[in-house]
Amino acid sequence: MTSFQRITLHFSNNAEEAPRVSRRLEHFLHDKAIPDTITNRILLCVDELITNIIAHAYNDKQEHAVSLECRIYDDFIELELRDDGVFFDPTSQNRPNLALSVDDRDIGGLGIHLVMTLMDKVEYHREGDYNVLVATKMISDKG
């Protein structure tokens, strides 16, 4: 059985939560001696994903619980985000055409493109009423 270290962070769909979650995750990764280049990529992706959940996952003004679990294995880091928002599979979205000028491009999609580019693997599935996104980053990656 493969061993791993993990942290699970629970937070609400409130914009003020994103910096708190990022700080906790940053401290965890730092304590586990994860290289800064990898930590920075992970934090950028987590910020983007949390911001998207808070801004777009809910059609009501109610407070919802969201969770982020970060698991560190020997060779890779795995992030799992869960929310009970509307169905949304970011992995099935069209990538923005970066060859077009900003004025000619459709609005949106750059954040998801960023996550898909910075992480080594991004997978989505729906579990009952929950969106579950699992993003993996190899630790051996130099950046």
Amino acid present at 97: N
- What pLDDT sits at residue 102? 52
The pLDDT of residue 105 is: 45
Residue 92 has a pLDDT of 83
pLDDT for the residue 111: 61
Angle, CA 57 vertex, CA 53 and CA 60 arms, to 5°: 125
Arithmetic mean of pLDDT over the chain? 87
Q: What are phi and psi of 122, to 5 degrees?
A: -135, 125
* Beta-strand relationship, 76-83 and 5-12: unpaired
What pLDDT, on a 0 to 100 scale, did the predictor assign at position 29? 98
pTM of the model: 0.85
Which residue stretches of the chain have pLDDT < 70? 1-2, 93-111, 141-143
Distance CA 143, CA 53 (A): 26
Residue 95: the pLDDT is 60
Amino acid sitting at position 5: Q
For residue 3, the model assigns a pLDDT of: 76
Question: CA–CA separation, 109 vs 119, rounded Å?
Answer: 16
pLDDT of residue 2: 65
